[in-house]
């Protein structure tokens, strides 16, 4: 199995921590495949040394950045232009097949069976299920595909400014061509799914094989008290806190296996920023607590938009107030409020 690998990416030390937890979780579940991490020059030497303890290969790559601030603004993640760096994974041509996994994913059991799938296999994106999410995907390294992707990125760009928009345009027949390339959602269970479809999470969540801490706030942005098993975080980050059992699993792995290695290599654990609020979250998942948490973590939606005749006219004439009342953020809030 030396020609098959799990591959992840870190362009800084924070995502390096995520990669270490992911790598450890793959090892804990006894993968028989190689572990590879792509790192950019911004990753410190100490972090690279620790990564080398968990991963078989630490591969230095240059950062590829879409610099597409306009599209990135739509996903409210200006920092994700650097996810174009993921494309380097296709250059690992010494491997015949690989599984790419975001550094914010955590493996809950052995998932080596994914190597039976073909390029490009991935799970649906929770926001637009006819697109695949690029947090977990099966692919075949190939210099030819790599060059095509690089060319595609300069000529066509990405509709979300990151790798996911690009890869969905490149592998454009994913939604319809071959159902075997649709990974079950349990291979890429994202936090978003828990509050957008709680009953399904209650029904199927226990079968999860990979958790993806998709979104702005990552597990390493929280703090964890190993004695009380409490996560300390911003109470508004309902997406991670509605399923604290996964967050606690991430922190258990970090505390038990990763933290000692970091200390050994002189990498400090940054303190939490002030202004956070301690939440008492049981590490043992209990359904009641989950629903309670979900109902408590609602937010106040904006006041309903009164559509005056003039505003409607303007809207119909294509003169929406994109920067103000009709901003993407306001529309999204309205939709969220409606869905809630």
Q: How far does Cα 113 stand from its chain's mean position?
A: 21
Site residues for Mn ion, window 104-123 (CB under 5 A)? 104
- Indicate which single residue of 68, 102, 160, 237 sits in contact with Mn ion (rule: CB under 5 A): 102
165 binds, among ligand UDP, Mn ion, ligand GLC, none (CB under 5 to 8 A by kind): ligand GLC
Out of 4, 12, 44, 283, the only residue in the binding site for ligand UDP (CB under 6 A) is 12
Helix, strand, or coil here: 120?
A: coil
Q: DSSP for 298-309?
A: --PPPPPPP--H
b/e per residue 96-112 (b: at least 16 CB within 10 A): ebbbbbbbbbbbbeebb
Applying CB under 6 A, which of residues 15, 48, 91, 163 lies at the interface with ligand GLC? Answer: 163
Rounded-to-integer distance, Cα 302 and Cα 76, Å: 18
Residue 305 CA to residue 26 CA, distance in Å, equals 48
Does 160 sit near ligand GLC (CB under 6 A)? yes
Whole-Å CA distances, 323 to 255, 305, 327, 329: 44, 15, 5, 9
Q: Which helix (H) or strand (E) holds 58?
A: strand 57-60
Instruction: Tell me: does residue 51 bind ligand UDP (CB under 6 A).
Output: no
State yes or no: residue 164 binds ligand GLC (CB under 6 A).
yes
- The vertex-17 CA angle with 14 and 19, nearest 5°, equals 110
Residue in 23, 124, 135, 219 binding ligand GLC, rule: CB under 6 A: 135
Cis peptide before 120 (omega within 30 of 0): yes
| Per CB under 6 A, 102 contacts ligand UDP | yes
For position 210 contacting ligand UDP by CB under 6 A, the verdict is no
The distance of closest approach from Cβ of residue 137 to ligand UDP in the complex, given in angstroms and rounded to an integer, is 12
Shortest spacing between CB 222 and ligand UDP, in angstroms: 15
Q: Which of 5, 6, 7, 9 binds ligand UDP (CB under 6 A)?
A: 9
* CB closer to ligand UDP out of 66 and 83: 83
Which of the choices ligand UDP, ligand GLC, Mn ion, none does residue 160 contact, using the CB cut-off of 5 to 8 A by kind? ligand GLC
Question: How many chain residues interact with ligand UDP (CB under 6 A)?
Answer: 16
State yes or no: residue 135 binds Mn ion (CB under 5 A): yes
Among 124, 165, 219, 233, binds ligand GLC (CB under 6 A): 165
Single out the segment in contact with ligand UDP by CB under 6 A; choices: 76-84, 145-153, 247-255, 298-306. Answer: 76-84
**Pair 106, 250: CB distance under 8 Å:** yes
H or E, element range at 138 = strand 132-139
Give Cα 161 to chain centroid, integer Å. 15
Does 214 help bind ligand GLC (rule: CB under 6 A)?
A: yes
- CB count, 10 Å around CB of 184? 13
Residues 192-211 that bind Mn ion (CB under 5 A): none
Of the candidate residues 16, 126, 141, 162, the single one contacting ligand GLC (CB under 6 A): 162
> 119 near 140, Cβ under 8 Å?
yes
* Residue whose CB is less far from Mn ion, 77 or 334: 77
Nearer to ligand UDP, 104 or 115 (CB): 104
The rounded distance, in Å, linking the Cα atoms of 22 and 101 is 8
Number of neighbouring beta carbons within 10 Å of residue 197: 13
**Alpha carbon of 144 to those of 63, 94, 170, 255: distances in Å?**
20, 13, 14, 41
Q: Interface residues with ligand UDP (CB under 6 A)?
A: 8-12, 15, 79-80, 82-83, 102-104, 135, 214-215
Q: Interface residues with ligand GLC (CB under 6 A)?
A: 80, 83, 102, 133-135, 160, 162-165, 214
Q: Interface residues with Mn ion (CB under 5 A)?
A: 102, 104, 135, 214
């Amino acid at each position: 199995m030396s020609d098959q690998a799990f591959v992840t990416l870190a362009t800084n030390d924070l995502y390096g921590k995520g990669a270490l937890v992911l790598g450890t979780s793959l090892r804990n579940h006894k993968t028989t495949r190689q572990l590879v991490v792509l790192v950019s020059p911004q990753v410190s030497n100490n972090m690279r040394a620790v990564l080398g303890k968990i991963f078989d290969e630490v591969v230095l790559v240059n950062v590829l950045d879409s610099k597409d601030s306009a599209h990135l603004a739509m996903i409210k993640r200006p920092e994700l232009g650097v996810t174009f760096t993921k494309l380097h994974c296709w250059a690992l041509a010494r491997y015949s097949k690989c599984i790419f996994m975001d550094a914010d994913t955590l493996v809950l059991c052995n998932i080596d069976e994914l190597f039976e799938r073909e390029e490009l296999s991935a799970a649906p994106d929770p926001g637009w299920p006819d697109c695949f999410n690029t947090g977990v995907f099966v692919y075949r390294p190939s210099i030819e595909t790599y060059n095509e992707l690089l060319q595609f990125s300069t000529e066509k760009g990405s509709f979300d400014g990151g790798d996911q928009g690009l890869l969905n345009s490149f592998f454009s027949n994913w939604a319809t061509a071959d159902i075997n390339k649709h990974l079950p959602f349990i291979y890429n269970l994202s936090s978003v799914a828990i509050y957008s479809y709680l009953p399904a999470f209650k029904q199927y969540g226990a079968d999860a094989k990979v958790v993806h801490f998709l979104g702005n706030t990552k597990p390493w942005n929280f703090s964890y008290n190993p004695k009380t098993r409490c996560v300390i975080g911003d109470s508004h980050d309902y997406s991670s806190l509605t399923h604290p059992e996964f967050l606690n699993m991430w922190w258990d792995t970090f505390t038990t296996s990763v933290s000692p290695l970091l200390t050994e290599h002189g990498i400090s654990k940054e303190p939490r920023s002030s202004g956070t609020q301690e939440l008492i979250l049981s590490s043992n998942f209990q359904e009641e607590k989950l629903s309670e948490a979900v109902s408590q973590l609602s937010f106040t939606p904006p006041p309903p938009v009164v559509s005056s005749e003039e505003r409607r006219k303007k809207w119909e004439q294509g003169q929406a107030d994109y920067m103000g009342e009709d901003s993407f953020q306001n529309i999204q809030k309205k939709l969220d409020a409606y869905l809630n």
